[in-house]
Amino acid sequence: MSFLEKKFSWLSVIIFSAVAVLVFFSITSWIHCDDNISETANNKYSCNYDIKRLSGLKYIKPIMFVDDECESDDMQDIKLQIVEIVNRYKNFEGVTSASIYLRQFSTNEWMCVNETDKFEPGSLFKVPVLMSILKMCEENPSFINKRISYNNLIDDGKNVAYKSKSIQLGQSYTVKELLTYMIKYSDNQATILLESNMKSEVLQKLFTDLGLEAPNIYATQYFFTTTQYSLFIRAIYNACYLSINDSEFAAKLLSECNFKDGIVSGLPKGTPIIHKFGESGNQVEMQLHESAIIYAYNKPFLLTIMTKGKDNKTLAKLIKEVSNKVYTEMANK
């Protein structure tokens, strides 16, 4: 073999070796990079999902809710801002407790401030009553037009601060009319008439179907966290418990709620909203709550606020401020 041939032979070996080394490091880097992508994906989706299904049917189990067990990382900034508002009201305004639940429907992201705090719902309980009555109407369509006479004033023992229109003694009303009084005007007398014609087992099944403890119909008190109560509003929005038509009807009634001192007052005028408020407590510690779906920029979100404190005006002011802050932040997302 000539010197020139040997030179080219060694040169081929060197080139082949260099290419082999480059290929090796390229493959190693690619594998390492792929491992990092997988790890990031695993970290991102490390939280479990809780799938709630409707039971009691023979062949199917419809999905009601699909919930990420972890709060949204993207909502931590707004959560910190809400915590600052709540702490300010606790330190300087006589508020003793406040819990706020927020859920963005388009992304299913959520967060909650003081998630374990419990409250007496007051008139918020009228939404489960509404859903139970409509469920009874699905089983017996004529029930919605049943007329019920209002002949005796019933003392419910409640001293409410926010009074509105009420049914009149000596008159009779259809179930549909009573539902309007109960939700639009938060009328306690209409609620009592409806409850006296409501099957308690339908109400109890509603609670257990949503994964909540069945209420004792003889109990004078019942307690919710904001997360628990939000299930009723979510069930209406998702149309996962009532029929689509009845869910739409329930939402329409909630859109007519005439309480304007809380969440509504923190929103731009004319913002579409469905909502229900409730007040409870006593002279020592009052409670004011509101739960709403706000239809902002085609990105509806659920906001439930429950509060305790010395006076309703301060609690309403807190609800307004939180509402305004959430709306501003959600509009900019």
**pLDDT tens digit at each of 333 positions of the chain:** 544 444 445 545 444 555 454 444 444 443 343 333 323 333 445 788 899 999 888 999 999 999 999 999 999 999 999 999 999 999 999 999 999 999 999 999 999 999 999 999 999 999 999 999 999 999 999 999 999 999 988 877 677 778 889 999 999 999 999 999 999 999 999 999 999 999 999 999 999 999 999 998 888 788 999 999 999 999 999 999 999 999 999 999 999 999 999 999 999 999 999 999 999 988 889 999 999 999 988 899 999 999 999 999 999 999 999 999 999 999 887
This prediction has a pTM of 0.85
Q: Quick check: 280 and 121 in contact, CB under 8 A?
A: yes
Q: Rounded distance, CA 303 to CA 104, Å?
A: 9
pLDDT at 39: 33
Q: Rounded distance, CA 239 to CA 322, Å?
A: 27
pLDDT at 9: 53
pLDDT at 161: 78
pLDDT at 45: 53
Phi-psi region of 86 (alpha: psi -120 to 50; beta: other; left: phi over 0): alpha
Phi-psi region of 256 (alpha: psi -120 to 50; beta: other; left: phi over 0): alpha
Q: Rounded distance, CA 215 to CA 203, Å?
A: 8
Query: Would you state the structure tokens that stand for residue 179, as one six-digit string?
Result: 């539902």
Query: Would you state the structure tokens that stand for residue 255, as one six-digit string?
Result: 């859109």
Which residues does 18 contact at the CB level (< 8 Å), separation at least 6?
none
How many residues does this entry show for the chain? 333
